[in-house]
Amino acid sequence: MKTYIIRRLLYMIPIVFGVMLITFILFNVVGGDRSVELAGKTASAETIAEIRHEYGWDKPMYFNTVAAGERGFKGLFDSQLFHHLRKCLTLDFGKSIRDRRFIIDIIKEGAGASLSLTVPIFLISVLAALAISLLVAHWRGTKFDRILVVLCVVGMSMPYLSYIMLGQYFLGYKLNLFPVFGYEPGLAAVQYLALPVLIGVISGLGSEVRMYRTIILDEIGADYVRTARAKGLATPNILFKHVLKNAMIPVITRVVLAIPFLFLGSLLLERFFGIPGLGYLTIEAISSRDDPVISAMTFIGALLYLFGLIATDICYALVDPRVKLK
Amino acid sequence: MRFHLKVFTWLLAALLVGSGCRREESLSEEEAAGLKVRYTVAASKVRGLDPGDIGDVTSSSVASQMFETLYQYHFLKRPYELIPMLAESMPQIRDDGLTYTIKIRQDVYFFDDQCFGGGVGRQLTVHDFIYAWKRIANIKYLSKNWWIFDGRIVGLDDFREYTKSVERKEDVDYDRPVEGLEALDKFTLQIKLTKPWPQILFLLAHLPTAPMAREAVDHYGDQLRNVAIGTGPYMLKSWRRGSKIIMVRNPKFRKVTYPIEGEPQDKSNGFLDDSGELIPLIDRIETTIAEESQPYWLLFMQGKVDAAGIPKDFYNQAINPRGTLTKQMIKKGIDLIVREDPSTFWFGFNMEDPLVGKNLPLRQAMSCAWNRREYVEVFNNNRGVSAKGIFPPMFKEYDPNFVNTYTQYYLELARKLMAQAVQLNNGKPLEVTLSLPGTDTLSRQMGQYFQRCMDKIGLKVKVDYYDWPTFQDRVKTKSLQIFAMGWVADYPDGESFLQVFYGPNGSPGPNNFNYHNPKYDQLYDKISVMPDSEKRSKIYREMERIVCDDCVAIFSYHSIAYVPYYKYLKNYKPHVFQYGLTKYRDIDLELRKELIGR
């Protein structure tokens, strides 16, 4: 397995380089610089020039031949591209254009709030979806199954934003069951997170139950389930011990791959409920074109995805003895 | 299985019972202790609290509770009148308006903070003003506010030149003398101007000119944006970025009292009830940041904030067709402030563009074809006044009798002018491009509305949509033909608007039209050194007419703000320059309990 992991890590190098290159092209080459906006409504040409200098936007795009002439070979890499590569590799993304704060500090600050929202949503969703799917699969073909399938389809068809707006309006404002908005760190966060977590869970339940139901139905029809029944095993034992374990491969693919993205938060939930997490940060950065922040979040997202893929493969091997990682 | 079902049923029952219980409104610790807490909401994030680099409304609103300036606008008197704040009195002005001598109060102290020796805030001196202004001049500091001092103070531009030669902003020698900024003693500041500058006092009431303690800058460095070491009535207690800011009363705040005079009707309106009382009257301010309109509005409707603007989508819930509050709002104990903003919004023409810049009939035709009244009704819920020219109605230079032919919706004339425009274009059909700063649905609807208006005179319009930074970049690099923009005055002097059309202020300066009219520029040079007088107002109006005759922009509307607030919020008199006014506000705790139950 060690060899496998090392090989996968080595495969990551060209992919990571590709991601760095794409983010550079998107935000530096296509996007251009933001000096004019930063200089304010009464900008002067000299302030704009100074801002371009401060952010390194006055450097050549790919190779600095002028600096190479003055400072030798090393100077050749004093360009926007190589500065971008260095920033990504050292995870020192520099400062946010809008807040002028170090991006890494902003990320550290927001990760806690994001996780406090996304981890409960993730755990409750997975457990609830699996439990409901097992029950539905067990009672397949009955009224209960049909009603739930219809509810799942309805749930999947509703836009995510509707859940948020309706939940906030009716459960928060009209019924006053939860705070409409806000966030406090520590234990006090529970009361503020309850509604966004509930919305997050309910909005995702439809698609998850539908998918897990299909997976579990495939397993329930297998020979070993009939054998277990014939031997007189209790239904909960069959469902939770045997069926669930065998249905785990596709479940793992979905679940493990989702874990790294928990760090990135939930864009809409955070914004609508005032949770100062990374999702909120990203949406803010996009709307204000804070390119260094978007670039950092894109790069981190890509890295997390790659690590998620490796983790998924490892989990396959742990859950299913037939899978060998070579 | 039966056991599992039982557990599931119980859990479900518990959830349903729990859901049926409404949450009780609980008092915060501060409210329980009898403190007066003001709850506010902001629709955008606070960027930073360093006054020298502040440029947005939300940050200014928050920072102005903690930082003070030499002068301020009187809270009650109208028209707006400047009075001393950190200054002891109004300045002595001599040498034909070139030298200002300002004495500052000696009872002002910075907040206690670790940046000062022993953690105790020291006394304010004029050196803190000189330092703050030199800091804005330091080009390495990249302040957005250099425009305030640019070319105004003797020697300050040279100081800026010097900072260009310094490698890092920390290496700048702030002890380097600037001739125009001199401390005659610890409490007397002398400012020498390069030429008369009648607006200087307005800008000395502008937040970026607040004094800054050098110790704070040295101690916090780049983190200064996250702290606030000021002298104001409130101190920063906590700031959760993008979520909430809490400020508390400054225990060391000097003795300042509530105004004892105002406008004639202020007494009957209760705005003089607190006359002579020590301010601030409120102990704590909690500002929640809610960028989405639904939570922003719901927080207000739940009584979680004391006052708020009305988001477009909730306008009909708050205001009835007569323009007053709906019954639902009145029942909740809400009152309404209607306030004119010092703003004008327009569609600007880039006068360097070979098509629109050289075709006056085309610009005039477009201006005549623009249906201002319908636009304000459809897109602003009638919260605006159709514009006739540059000045909003609240400015004394606004002439109600001024008739601008080209800002009236007059399709017949527009079509005639359009025919002339086509002729000027050698008979070829015309097509123009409008650029809008937004890519959302609303912007697209606005673009379509503009197209529809121009379609009526046979003008084809292509609409481009940009995000705000790209739009700004395009405007400042003169790449756009017609662009939607506006201007909000920084001070109550029409000059704030007139500078926007001054030739030398062309892009990237504030003159985004790149408009050059020698006569206008000559008049601007004249008024820029003239003190306020009827003669100056007359020239202001003359300049407005020049701009209107040249049809530099399609002047669209002046906005009006509707601000509903709970009646327990006292001393809530509308004020256009509303920074730092919370110190005068008050809360009727009994009425609050009666209205919102806490």
What CATH number is attached to the domain comprising B103?
3.90.76.10
Q: Is A276 on the interface with B (CB under 8 A)?
A: yes
Answer yes or no: do B227 and B347 share one domain.
no
Residues of the domain holding B389: 343-560
For residue B1, the model assigns a pLDDT of: 45
Residue B445 lies in a domain: yes
Q: Is A275 on the interface with B (CB under 8 A)?
A: yes
For residue B100, the model assigns a pLDDT of: 97
Q: Are the Cβ atoms of A39 and B508 closer than 8 angstroms?
A: yes
Residue A236 lies in a domain: yes
Report the residue from A98, A177, A182 with minimal CB separation from B47.
A98
Answer yes or no: do A81 and A218 share one domain.
no
Mean pLDDT value across chain A: 86
pTM, entire model = 0.85
Domain endpoint, select from B190, B208, B232:
B232
Q: What is the CATH number of the domain that holds B394?
A: 3.10.105.10
Answer yes or no: do B350 and B225 share one domain.
no
Residues 147-166, chain A: which have Cβ within 8 Å of B?
Answer: 165
Report the residue from A44, A101, A287 with minimal CB separation from B508.
A44
Whether the per-residue pLDDT at B511 is higher than 50: the answer is: yes
Mean pLDDT value across chain B: 91
Q: How far is B469 from chain A (nearest CA, A)?
A: 6
DSSP B178: B
Residue of chain A with shortest Cα separation from B292: A272
Reading phi first (left if > 0) and then psi (alpha if -120 to 50, else beta), residue B276 is in left
Residues 20-39, chain A: which have Cβ within 8 Å of B?
Answer: 32, 34, 36-39
Answer yes or no: do A310 and A215 share one domain.
yes
Q: Is A274 on the interface with B (CB under 8 A)?
A: yes
User: Over the stretch A144-186, which tens digit does the pLDDT of each residue have?
Assistant: 899 999 999 999 999 999 999 999 999 999 999 999 999 988 8
* Chain A contact set for B442 (CB, 8 A): none
Q: Which of A164, A181, A235, A294 to mutate to test the interface with B (most CBs of B within 10 A)?
A: A181
A268 in Cβ contact with A160 (< 8 Å): yes
Give the pair of three-digit tokens for residue B208.
């970026």
Residue of chain A with shortest Cα separation from B165: A50
For residue B320, the model assigns a pLDDT of: 92
* Chain A contact set for B292 (CB, 8 A): 271-272
Answer yes or no: do A65 and A168 share one domain.
no
Average pLDDT over residues B266-276: 95
Strand, helix or coil for residue B32: helix
**Structurally, how many domains does chain B consist of?**
2
Residue A39 lies in a domain: yes
For residue A325, the model assigns a pLDDT of: 64
d(CA B140, CA B144): 12
Answer yes or no: do A174 and A68 share one domain.
no
Residue B548 lies in a domain: yes
* Chain A contact set for B242 (CB, 8 A): 274, 276, 280-281, 284
Residue A99 lies in a domain: no
**A236 or B407, greater pLDDT:** B407
Residue B213 lies in a domain: yes
Residue A64 lies in a domain: yes
Q: pLDDT category, B115, cuts 50, 70, 90?
A: very high
Least confident of A311-320, B15-24, B373-382: B15-24
For residue A37, the model assigns a pLDDT of: 67
For residue A93, the model assigns a pLDDT of: 86
Residues of the domain holding A34: 2-90
Q: Are the Cβ atoms of B142 and A54 closer than 8 angstroms?
A: yes
DSSP B307: B
* Chain B contact set for A236 (CB, 8 A): 1, 4
Average pLDDT over residues A67-73: 83
Q: Which of A36, A184, A268 to mutate to test the interface with B (most CBs of B within 10 A)?
A: A36
Average pLDDT over residues A57-72: 85
Whether the per-residue pLDDT at B560 is higher than 50: the answer is: yes
Answer yes or no: do A157 and A255 share one domain.
yes
Answer yes or no: do A240 and A314 share one domain.
yes
Residue B363 lies in a domain: yes
Answer yes or no: do B382 and B501 share one domain.
yes
* Chain B contact set for A34 (CB, 8 A): 469, 473
Domain endpoint, select from B192, B214, B232:
B232
Q: Which of A41, A109, A124, A136 to mutate to test the interface with B (most CBs of B within 10 A)?
A: A41
Residue A97 lies in a domain: no
B368 in Cβ contact with B406 (< 8 Å): yes
Residue B452 lies in a domain: yes
For B499, other C-beta atoms within 10 Å of its C-beta total: 19
* Chain A contact set for B302 (CB, 8 A): 173, 176, 180
User: Over the stretch B514-552, which tens digit does the pLDDT of each residue have?
Assistant: 999 999 999 999 999 999 999 999 999 999 999 999 999
Residue of chain B with shortest Cα separation from A178: B23
**Structurally, how many domains does chain A consist of?**
2
d(CA B435, CA B466): 7
Domain endpoint, select from A90, A117, A143:
A90
* Chain B contact set for A38 (CB, 8 A): 142, 144
**B458 or B597, greater pLDDT:** B458
ipTM: 0.82
Domain endpoint, select from A90, A122, A140:
A90
Residue B210 lies in a domain: yes
Whether the per-residue pLDDT at B107 is higher than 90: the answer is: yes
Q: Is A288 on the interface with B (CB under 8 A)?
A: yes
Answer yes or no: do B227 and B365 share one domain.
no
Cβ neighbours of residue B360 closer than 8 Å, sequence gap 6 or more: B550, B551
Q: Which of A47, A190, A229 to mutate to test the interface with B (most CBs of B within 10 A)?
A: A47
Q: Name all contacts of B161-169 with Cβ < 8 Å and 24+ positions apart.
A: B163/B137, B163/B138, B163/B139, B164/A46, B164/A50, B164/B139, B166/B140, B168/B140, B169/B138, B169/B140, B169/B141
Report the residue from A101, A168, A287 with minimal CB separation from B298.
A168
Answer yes or no: do A86 and A111 share one domain.
no
Q: Rg of the Cα trace of chain B?
A: 27
Residue type, B239: W
d(CA B320, CA B328): 10
Domain endpoint, select from A36, A55, A90:
A90
Least confident of A229-233, A245-249, B116-120, B509-513: A245-249
Q: Are the Cβ atoms of A42 and B509 closer than 8 angstroms?
A: yes
Residues 47-66, chain A: which have Cβ within 8 Å of B?
Answer: 47-48, 50-51, 54
Q: Are the Cβ atoms of B242 and A276 closer than 8 angstroms?
A: yes
Q: Which of B57, B152, B163, B292 to mutate to test the interface with A (most CBs of A within 10 A)?
A: B292
User: Over the stretch B391-443, which tens digit does the pLDDT of each residue have?
Assistant: 999 999 999 999 999 999 999 999 999 999 999 999 999 999 999 988 778 89
Average pLDDT over residues B226-249: 93
Average pLDDT over residues B223-246: 92
Q: Hunting for tokens 């119980």 — which residue is that?
A: B10
